Chains A and B, each alone.
Chain A
Amino acid sequence: DAGVIQSPRHEVTEMGQEVTLRCKPISGHNSLFWYRQTMMRGLELLIYFNNNVPIDDSGMPEDRFSAKMPNASFSTLKIQPSEPRDSAVYFCASTLGWSTEAFFGQGTRLTVV
């Protein structure tokens, strides 16, 4: 298996623009997580899905953030409009079960200027 695949690896955008991050989980995994990592706050859980259904989005910082999982093999995290404080590395992870080993993608490094 290729593992969790995220795209793009790097994204530089101007403040106010829409940003869409993409994730393909490991085939057969039924839980998907979106995390944001910064030096100040570490790895923060934004939202997670179980069997494609959003379970808890209380970690999403603002209404500017939204996430979807239209099918078992694809998820998106959208920021609209983006702001400089959204600059961070965004990780997608998938698991087989809630708290079993989390397999992470390589992350998307987002820079909003």
Chain B
Amino acid sequence: TQLLEQSPQFLSIQEGENLTVYCNSSSVFSSLQWYRQEPGEGPVLLVTVVTGGEVKKLKRLTFQFGDARKDSSLHITAAQPGDTGLYLCAGAKTGNTPLVFGKGTRLSVIA
């Protein structure tokens, strides 16, 4: 059983469209992180959210942590081909436990 469920698994959209991907769990997390992974590379951190209800923006990317700290979403506005990649969410149950990762959403933005 996957602790963090990400949806959708695959997403293919046209340049300029908006999209939202989700990361859900039945467990509470002390913090949640989003990473992006490009082919042949390791994941790279985009953002960390720690407070229930927190919203963080990174240019065209908006991240939200659920009020109950069990879920999170990533919204991309006006997607560009450079946004293509595997988006992974990762959570830590406490400050002294390692990160566990979801399987990711594989995004393809077509020009």
Contacts and interface: CB of A to CB of B under 8 A. Distances in A.
B52 interface: no
B30 A99 contact: yes
A107 interface: yes
A31 B98 CA distance: 9
Contact of B45 (A42, A43, A102): A102
Contacts, number: 60
A32 B96 CA distance: 14
Contacts of A33: 98-99
Interface residues of A, number: 21
Given A42-B103, A42-B104, A99 B41 contact: no
Q: Is the interface of B mostly helix, strand, loop or mixed?
A: loop
B42 A106 contact: yes
B90 interface: yes
A41 B102 CA distance: 9
A89 to B, nearest CB: 9
A69 interface: no
A43 B88 contact: yes
B98 A42 contact: no
B95 interface: yes
Interface of A: 4, 31, 33, 35, 41-43, 45, 48, 56, 91, 93, 97-99, 101-102, 104-107
